[in-house]
Amino acid sequence: MSDKKKAIENLGRRHFLRNSAVTGVAGAGLAGGFGAGALMNSRQARAAENGVEVAPGELDEYYGFWSGGHQGEVRVLGIPSMRELMRIPVFNIDSATGWGITNESKRIMGDSARFLNGDCHHPHISMTDGRYDGKYLFINDKANTRVARIRLDIMKTDKITTIPNVQAIHGLRLQKVPHTKYVFANAELPIPQVNDGRDLENPENYFTMFNAIDAESMEVAWQVIVDGNLDNTDADYTGRFVASTCYNSEKGMTLADTMRAERDWVVVFDVDAIEAAVAAGEFETLGDSEVPVLDGRKGSKLTRYIPIPKNPHGLNTSPDGQYFIANGKLSPTCSIIGIDKLPALFDDAIEPRDTVLAEPELGLGPLHTTFDGRGNAYTTLFIDSQVAKWNIEDAIRAYNGEEVNYIRQKLDVHYQPGHNHASLTETRDADGKWLVVLSKFSKDRFLPVGPLHPENDQLIDISGEEMKLVHDGPTFAEPHDCILARADQISPSRIWSRDDPTFAETVAMAEADGVNIETENKVIRDGNKVRVYMISVAPQFGLTEFKVKQGDEVTVVVTNLDQVEDLTHGFVMVNHGASMEIGPQQTASVTFTADKPGVHWYYCSWFCHAMHMEMTGRMLVEKA
């Protein structure tokens, strides 16, 4: 047996087929044959050569969590394949899962369930000691001033909080050490305080606030009122400092008004001082809210204002914990702020501009910066449609007068990039493998689909000296930002736990009705309210019919007793706008009005069995 044949036999079948396909592409033209390799297209061959192929049955190295933009959801992708794995509804209505339709989801959404829209911007994963702990993912809703929490064990939203006294939550980041005690959220748009009709025509009395939400309770812990407005934010690795950009220090009400000042600023918040002030009672409350509101305007001991070039946007912390980097937007520069200088700034030992270590010129429209953990930064240039790779220490040396080129490379991206994100970049463990760029325009990249174009996500290999574009693909609609975590840092459950708090209130309702929802199928009438309890085991509902009267408020509770992973049932009541997902060992409920007499079928909407189509039942509605 030849050495070549022995080597082939030692390969796994999957790797053998893949490797033969790659070599087949290279040799097809010479051999003139039509072998397995000739079936691989050029895109697949390039992916294999670049090391990004994830073959069928193989798993990705990273989870990617994408904000769904105006869809109001979070999308889960595998990296580097860029395969979409799941969509997690958050601020939107989702008929597949019943989010916003089921009683359980409406309880989580609370009073804000009345909103039918959301605008997700910044997803971030909870941390312990500056490393992802895989417990929660947090996301903001700019449209309706909310912050949501997603449990990463079940990939479901479990808390939504509306932030009082402010409008338009935009920048969101988390406390990194010693753990994520706070979710920090910026309210972007100033409003009167209190916003009850007073000061409508007096913008000088408009203000906005920096907000801290307790990550466990999801209650707003405190708010700090500031001058100007607030845009993006990030926290340091000591737990003490958080910085935010301000692009409208003028509090202008029009575009021209926001351009008057020569500079804007970065606001730095001293979390230790804020907590001490809250403990000492040095706060007020506004309107109906009981949240402590502290004064962080200029002259406050709680904040410092660092002047930087006009209309900054992104604010990013380097993984070594040394720098805040504020991105210029209207200036071709970024401002590098030395975090180790901030204690002296709060002691009034230095001037605010003394904290700025460099302002490297990168290109037109710098928006966001990410890092590879090797001392390099990657900044999106919106106007230039490029990513600039540059070295932070060299930029500081150049700012101090040395002749050194800090730009390492510029790579064209398509087109007008906004956020970018490198693998593990928000943690101590930034590994410099992958960079995702979220571009706002796609123009000529994909098949035309009418006046509304898709946008473009691009994956770039940054593991070597040069950036290499290895994937681009369309996305919808305006997914604002993303975050990448190693697959081993996330541990999703395979089936539901029967004591999960998500449906605890529904279980308690059944217990009050004297129903064991794991063993009984039962109809409970309480006046004109009817509660229908049924078990589901593929391919049958525990009740194949039940009878109600016209006008009854009907609550259907389904418990899925199947224990097989991936064996999800659905419940849809035809012509009643009622649908929900019930995963294995989950209980879910939906309420609707039986407003029309007659026969109304219900069916399982998730394909669960060879006899799935037969998994049906009838609601018989008697005339009133």
Is 414 annotated as contributing to ligand binding? no
Kindly provide the residue ranges of all beta strands, DSSP E only, lying in 372-503, ordered along the sequence: 376-381, 386-391, 407-412, 417-422, 434-439, 455-461, 468-475, 482-486
Mean of all residue pLDDT scores within the chain? 93
DSSP for 3-38 reads: HHHHHHHHS-HHHHHHHHHHHHHHHHHHH----GGG
pLDDT of residue 45: 56
- pLDDT-based confidence at 46, cuts 50/70/90? low
Provide mean pLDDT across the span 333-356.
98
Task: Tell me the fold of 501-622.
Answer: Immunoglobulin-like (2.60.40)
540-596 tens-digit pLDDT: 999 999 999 999 999 999 999 999 999 999 999 999 999 999 999 999 999 999 999
* Stretch (H or E) spanning 533: strand 529-537
- State the Cα–Cα distance between residues 605 and 597, nearest whole angstrom: 23
Q: Is 124 annotated as a binding residue?
A: no
- Can you list the positions of beta strands (E) in 296-375? 303-308, 315-317, 323-327, 334-338, 356-358, 366-371
Q: Quick: pLDDT tens for 506-548.
A: 999 999 999 999 999 999 999 999 999 999 999 999 999 999 9
Q: Write out the DSSP string of 160-211.
A: EEEPTT-EEEEEEEE--SSB--EEEEEEEE-EESS-SSTTTT-GGGEEEEEE
| Position 502 pLDDT exceeds 70 | yes
**Does pLDDT of 35 surpass 70?**
no
- Secondary structure letter of residue 284 according to DSSP: B
Has 608 been labeled as part of a binding site? Answer: yes
Annotation-wise, does 121 bind a ligand?
Answer: yes
* Cα-based distances in Å from 108 to 104, 135, 493: 7, 18, 20
pLDDT of amino acid 40? 44
**DSSP class per residue in 60-111:** -SEEEEEE-GGG-EEEEEEETTTEEEEEEESSS-BTTTTBTTSHHHHHHHGG
Phi and psi, residue 240, nearest 5°: -95, -40
| pLDDT class of 42 with cuts at 50, 70, 90 | low
Average pLDDT over residues 19-47: 40
Band of pLDDT at residue 410, cut at 50, 70 and 90: very high
User: How would residue 48 be classed by pLDDT, with cut points 50, 70 and 90?
Assistant: low
Residue 44: pLDDT band by 50, 70, 90 thresholds? Answer: low
The tens digit of pLDDT for each residue in 132-189 reads 999 999 999 999 999 999 999 999 999 999 999 999 999 999 999 999 999 999 999 9
Per-residue confidence (pLDDT) for residue 322, from 0 to 100: 98
- Measured CA to CA, the distance from residue 185 to residue 129 in angstroms comes to 20
SS3 assignment, position 323: strand
pLDDT in tens, 446-466: 999 999 999 999 999 999 999
* Cα(147)–Cα(133) distance, integer angstroms: 20
Per-residue pLDDT tens over the stretch 461-499:
999 999 999 999 999 989 999 999 999 999 999 999 999
CA 545/CA 557 separation, integer angstroms = 14
CB 229 within 8 A of CB 208: yes
Instruction: Find out whether the peptide bond into 436 is cis, omega within 30 degrees of 0.
Output: no
How much is the pLDDT for 25? 32
Total residue count of the chain as it appears in this document: 624
453 is in an annotated binding site: no
Count the neighbouring beta carbons within 10 Å of the beta carbon of residue 366.
29
Q: Which tens digits make up the pLDDT trace of 50-85?
A: 667 899 999 999 999 999 999 999 999 999 999 999
Query: Which of 121, 63, 64, 60 is CA-nearest to residue 90?
Result: 121
Domain ranges of the chain: 501-622
Element (H, E) at 300: none
Burial of 371 (0-12, 13-18, 19+ CB in 10 A): buried
> Does residue 346 sit in helix, strand or coil?
helix
Q: What is the pLDDT of residue 47?
A: 56
Q: Is 339 helix (H, G, I), strand (E, B) or coil?
A: helix
Which stretches of 450-572 are DSSP H helices?
504-512
Residue 368 burial (C-beta neighbours within 10 Å; 0-12, 13-18, 19+): buried
Q: Which residues, at least 6 apart from 544, have a Cβ–Cβ distance to it below 8 Å?
A: 616, 617, 618
What is residue 12's predicted lDDT score, i.e. its pLDDT?
Answer: 37
pLDDT (0 to 100) of residue 50:
62
